[in-house]
Structure 1
Amino acid sequence: MNYNIRGENFEVTEALKDYVDRKLGKLEKYFDEPITTEIRVNMEVHNNDRVIEVTIPMQELLLRAEDTHTDMYAAIDLVTEKLERQIRKYKTKVNRKFRQSGRPKQWRDAMTEGSLATATEVVEEEESEFEVVRNKRFDFKPMNVDEAILQMNMLGHTFFVFNNDETNDISVVYKRKDGKYGLIEQES
Structure 2
Amino acid sequence: MNFNIRGENMEITDALKDHVYKKVGKLERYFDSTPSSDVHVKMSVLSQDQKVEITIPMPKLLLRAEEKHADMYAAVDLVVEKLERQIRKHKTKVNRKFRGDNSLKYMFKNELEPVAEENVQDDDELEIVRTKRFDLKPMDAEEAILQMDMLGHSFFVFSNSINGDTNVVYRRKDGRYGLIEPES
If the TM-score is normalised by the length of the shorter chain, which range does it land in? 0.5 to 0.7
Show the counterpart of 1:74: 74
* CA distance 1:88–1:43, change in 2 (3 Å): same
1:44 is paired with a residue whose SS is strand
What is the CA distance between 1:53 and its match in structure 2? 0.1
Letter in structure 1 aligned against 2:142: F
Separation in 2, partners of 1:110, 1:62: 16
Cα distance 1:81–1:129, how it changes in 2: closer, same or farther (>3 A)?
closer
Larger radius of gyration: 2
Instruction: State the partner residue of 1:12.
Output: 12
Corresponding residue of 2:32: 32
In structure 1, the residue matched to 2:60 is 60
Give the 5 Å matches for 1:32-181: 32-98=32-98, 103-109=99-105, 111=107, 130=142
Shift of 1:109: 3.5
Partner amino acid, structure 2, of 1:82:
K
- Find the aligned partners of 1:26 and 1:34 in 2 and give their Cα distance: 11
CA RMSD, 1 decimal = 2.9
- 2:63 and 2:86 in contact (8 A); partners too: yes
Number of aligned residue pairs: give it: 118
Return closer, same or farther for 1:130/1:79 CA change in 2, 3 Å cut-off.
same
Percent of pairs with identical residues: 59
Unmatched runs of 5 consecutive residues or more in structure 2: 109-139, 145-153, 158-165, 169-184
Could you tell me how far apart the structure 1 residues matched to 2:72 and 2:89 are?
Answer: 26
Displacement of 1:47 in angstroms is 1.2
Does the aligned pair in 2 maintain the 1:50–1:71 contact within 8 Å? yes
Q: For 2:96, what is the secondary structure of its paired residue?
A: helix
Instruction: Give the distance between the partners of 1:16 and 1:76, measured in 2 at CA.
Output: 9
| Kept in 2: contact 1:44–1:51 (CA 8 A) | yes
> SS of the residue aligned with 1:130?
helix
Q: Gaps (5+ residues) in structure 1? A: 113-127, 133-157, 162-169, 173-188
Alpha-carbon separation, structure 2, partners of 1:20 and 1:76: 7
| Residues 61 and 111 in structure 1, CA contact (< 8 A), matched pair in contact too | no
Displacement of 1:55: 0.1
Q: Which amino acid counterpart does residue 64 of structure 2 have in structure 1? A: R
TM-score computed with the length of structure 1 as normaliser: 0.56
Once residues 54 and 63 of structure 2 are traced to their aligned partners in structure 1, the CA distance between those partners, rounded to angstroms, is 8
Give the match's secondary structure for 1:57: strand
Tell which has more relative contact order, 1 or 2 (C-alpha 8 A, sep 6+). Answer: 1
